[in-house]
Amino acid sequence: MLGSFKVRTPDWILFGFDTVRQVGVEAKRLGAGKVMLLTDPGVVKAGLLDPVYESLKGEGLEYDIFDAVEPEPSIQSLLEASKMAKQGKFDVIAAVGGGSTMDTTKLVAAMMTNEGDIQDFFGVDNVPQRGLPTIMVTTTSGTGSEVTRMAVFTDTEVNLKRVVSAQNILADVAIIDPNMTTSVPQPVTAATGIDAFIHAVEAYVALSASPLTDTICLEAIKLTAENLGPAFANGNDMAARYNMALGSFMAGISLNNAGVGAVHALAYPIGAEYHLSHGLALIVIFAETMRSISISCLPKFRKIAEAMGIDVDGLSPWEAADETVDGMTELARMVGLPTTLSEVEGDQTKIGQWAKAAHGEQRLLGNTPRTLSVEDVAQIFEKSF
Ligand SMILES: [Fe+2]
């Protein structure tokens, strides 16, 4: 692999215990003034805003809070947050939350400087100007949204996921403090953790992968596979939380540079149809999607197995790939996740419709190592029951 590649990251990334206490210093450096904080009720209840308030006050900064970010946010909820942003005199917009909060924050900030309707921003690089400066404080180890240029919204009118992918919504500062993840409920630890693992796997086999992302992905696969169980079993296992935060961050960097593929494309119609969290929508179609594309990159599957600690010595490449996919399923089952569409009461008569929608996600399918027709996609859905 001797190709050229580019690397996209936020300007600053602060990683480690107590980095959340830097939010005030960073906001001041970015020109605050007054900060708009976006969050959700669960984060408020868990007391995770306390160190943020302290840090902002410590720098003499003012702030106001929008605490109604929805899970898997609708376009409507984004517009509400944007309305509040436009009414206040904010200099910096900060997220304290998971992927839904960070995605909302990216577009709220962008809509402060870009004219036009939200519909104009969907797609690739359709945000012409950078928005107000942003700080992303993540409270989950999973989405990687703090370091990506993607934001996903639910279009409730047509039951579809709509994606903004734009360099101009990448955060100015990402803060990844493992302390912020200890109060995450067990099912959320599982669903977000598996999202991180899937980012690492999908970016590793992606057509846009580079030598840099390959190295990061394998380490992220190792970290998430080793630490998801311990973090799930004991939320206060600080080593596991640290390693999940690190794995998720690495997977996010890989996702932002190598991209993801078919698993995310197939998950979008499922998530929108059944109002599943992103991680759940991914994991119910993950195994069969991976089994289907494994034939295109068998040596990479052997490397994934090694990173996961699965012994594939002496197995043929095909057997090794199968064994790897089985190991992925076991990892998900170990943390109580469903791994088939039957378990989320999927409706088989919808397969044709889902296949068409998933196949339309050419940004993702075009980055997948196996070329998948609509029929291939439909077959993966069928096998996932
Ligand atoms: Fe994801």
210 Cα: distance to centroid of ligand 1 (angstroms): 19
pLDDT of residue 187: 96
pLDDT per residue over 84-94, tens digit each? 999 999 999 99
Q: What is the dihedral of CA 140, 145, 151, 157, to 10 degrees?
A: -20
By DSSP bridging, strand 150-155 and strand 160-165 are antiparallel
Residues 240, 137: one domain? no
Tally of structural domains, the chain: 2
Q: H or E element: which one contains 123?
A: strand 123-124
Q: Which residue, 132, 164, 181, sits at the end of a domain?
A: 181
Q: Does a structural domain hold residue 44?
A: yes
Distance from the alpha carbon of residue 258 to the mean position of ligand 1, in angstroms: 13
Whether 200 is covered by a domain: the verdict is yes
**3-state class of 75 per DSSP?**
helix
154 with 262, same domain: the answer is no
For residue 313, what are the domain limits? Answer: 186-383
Tell whether 134 and 86 lie within a shared domain: yes
What is the rounded distance in angstroms from the CA atom of residue 249 to the CA atom of residue 365? 24
* Mean pLDDT along residues 14-24: 98
Contact status, residue 89 vs residue 32, Cβ threshold 8 Å = no
Whether residue 220 sits in one domain with residue 127? no
Q: How far is the CA of 191 from the centre of ligand 1 (A)?
A: 10
CATH code where residue 161 lies: 3.40.50.1970
131 and 254 both lie in a single domain: no
d(CA 51, ligand 1 centre) in Å = 28
Q: Is residue 57 domain-shared with residue 197, that is, in the same domain?
A: no
Check whether residue 138 and residue 201 sit in a common domain: no
User: What pTM does this model have?
Assistant: 0.96
pLDDT in tens, 68-113: 999 999 999 999 999 999 999 999 999 999 999 999 999 999 999 9
Residue 372's CATH number: 1.20.1090.10
- Residues 135 and 215 both lie in one domain: no
The per-residue pLDDT for 157 is 87
Q: Token digits for 270?
A: 């499922």
Instruction: State the distance from the centre of ligand 1 to the C-alpha of 143, rounded, in angstroms.
Output: 6
CA angle 296, 288, 262 (to 5 degrees): 60
Ligand 1 centre to CA of 101 (Å) is 14
Which H or E run includes 12?
A: strand 12-15
Full DSSP string of 138-201: E-SSS--GGG-SEEEEEETTTTEEEEEE-GGGS-SEEEE-GGGGTTS-HHHHHHHHHHHHHHHH
**Looking at the domain assignment, is residue 1 inside a domain?**
no
Query: 122-133, pLDDT tens digit by residue?
Result: 999 999 999 999
CA of 196 to the centre of ligand 1 (A): 7
4 within some domain: no
Phi, psi of 175 (to 5 degrees): -120, 120
Rounded mean pLDDT, 176-192: 96
pLDDT value of residue 1? 58
20 C-alpha vs ligand 1 centroid, how far in Å? 24
Q: Which of 156, 181, 206 is where one domain is finished?
A: 181
Paired sense of beta strands 160-165 and 12-15, if any: unpaired
- Helix%, strand%, coil% for the chain, nearest 5: 55, 10, 30
In a domain, 2, yes or no: no
Domain end point (choices 181, 203, 230): 181
Distance from Cα 200 to the centre of ligand 1, integer Å: 10
87 Cα to the center of ligand 1, angstroms:
32
Which tokens go with 364? 């993702």
pLDDT over 70, % of the chain: 100
Q: Same structural domain for residues 349 and 271?
A: yes
Asked if residue 6 is part of any domain, the answer here is no
Same domain membership, residue 108 and residue 143: yes
Q: Does 261 reside within a domain?
A: yes
For residue 319, pLDDT beyond 90? yes
Three-state SS at 97? strand
User: CA-CA-CA-CA torsion for 151, 349, 381, 345, nearest 10 degrees?
Assistant: 80
Shared domain for 173 and 243, answered yes or no, is no
| Same domain (yes/no): 30, 146 | yes
Q: What is the mean pLDDT of the chain?
A: 96
